[in-house]
Amino acid sequence: MNTTVSAAFLGLVEGITEFLPVSSTGHLIVAADLLKFRDAGGTFEIAIQLGAVLAVVAYYWRDLSGQARALPERPEVRTLWLGVTLAFLPAAALGFLFSDAITRYLFSPVTVGLSLMLGGAALWVIEGRTFAARTTGLTQVSPRQALIVGCAQCLALVPGVSRSASSIIGGLLIGLDRPTATAFSFYLSIPTLGLATLYALIKGREALDSTQLGPLLVGMGVSFVTALLAIGWLLKYVARHDFRGFAVYRMLAGLAILGWALWR
């Protein structure tokens, strides 16, 4: 398959899955393997996330610009962004320290299959519990709650776990209602994915030659459009549903990927 077409397909996969609790990185690893897509040491699978980050910024632009203007006189807005910063730090530190080892040893379909299955089972069990939602708005998220969500997000360093799933479920466990946990996960994606993309591009700049730059930009563009649509859909979905459907999908997809990886 043509490299640019493959990149566009991977961008579609990224945009659809980035904010769903199914692991975009895991899906990208498997899709790239199926397409025999040549990647610069895992750079593409991380850098393509920039499209999804820009989609979050575009979706929340009115809120973000309003918060920026209100930052000096509204302490609750300062608290929100303090929380986002605190939540970002644990995964950033671990990613910086262990990114090479993670890419070398964990970026494989077997890891993805196992993580999808185990994460799906955990998601099913957790969704069977009832949580008392004490926090019903983004500006009510405390720094302590934010830091716990950030620690939960660290699980997503393992491909197949899902950054969205770990951060949203972490929020539910500490008292955020579902819309707030989901929206906070979106906000958290801005520094997490944005800086991860920048770091990946800097590290992989020597391996990323000029022939890969075009496909990367195509993938980012497609992921931006599809992620923008996925964000709006997911926010409407979580207002009326839990994540058990995604748990079933994860277990079935993980089983299929694991079977394919072991027997191909």
**Predicted pLDDT of residue 2:** 76
Query: Residue 90: what pLDDT?
Result: 97
CB count in 10 Å sphere of residue 143: 14
Q: What is the per-residue pLDDT across 215-250, written as a single tens digit (0 to 9) for each?
A: 888 999 999 999 999 999 999 998 888 899 999 999
Q: How far apart are CA 40 and CA 142, in angstroms?
A: 39
First to last CA, the chain: 20
CA distances 131 to 44, 48, 57, 99, 120, Å, are: 38, 35, 30, 34, 19
DSSP string across 54-73: HHHHHHTHHHHHHHHHHTTT
Q: What is the mean pLDDT of residues 114-143?
A: 90
**Model confidence at 15, in pLDDT bands (50, 70, 90)?**
very high
Q: Which residues pair with 135 in a beta bridge?
A: 176
Q: What per-residue confidence (pLDDT) applies to 16?
A: 95
Whole-angstrom distance, CA of residue 171 vs CA of residue 243? 14
> What's the chain's average pLDDT?
90
Residue 97: predicted pLDDT: 92
Looking at 28-37, 104-113, 126-135, 196-205, which range is the least confident one? Answer: 196-205
Nearest alpha carbon to residue 155 among 66, 59, 242, 90? 90
More reliable by pLDDT, 94 or 208? 94
Beta bridge partners of 176: 135
Q: How many CB atoms lie within 10 A of CB 181?
A: 26
pLDDT > 70: what percent of the chain?
94
| Max Cα distance, the chain (Å) | 60
Sign of CA dihedral 139, 143, 145, 146: positive
Tell me the backbone φ, ψ of residue 163, rounded to 5 degrees. Answer: -65, -45
Long-range contacts, 177-180 (Cβ 8 Å, 24+) = 177/133, 177/135, 177/136, 178/133, 178/238, 178/239, 178/242, 179/235, 179/238, 179/239, 180/133, 180/135, 180/136, 180/137, 180/138, 180/140, 180/141
- The pLDDT value given to residue 211: 64
Could you give the CA distance from residue 72 to residue 67 in angstroms, rounded to a whole number? 9
pLDDT at 257 over 80: yes
CA nearest neighbour of 227 among 35, 48, 38:
48
Residue 95 CB coordination number (10 Å): 19
The pLDDT score that the predictor gives to residue 42 is 59
Residue boundaries of the structural domains of the chain: 3-263
Query: How does pLDDT run across 156-213, given as a tens digit for each residue?
Result: 999 999 999 999 999 999 999 989 999 999 999 999 999 888 887 777 666 566 667 7
pLDDT of residue 9: 94
* pLDDT score, position 208: 61
pLDDT in tens, 29-72: 899 888 887 665 557 777 788 899 999 999 999 999 999 888 88
- Residue 41 pLDDT: 54
pLDDT at 71: 84
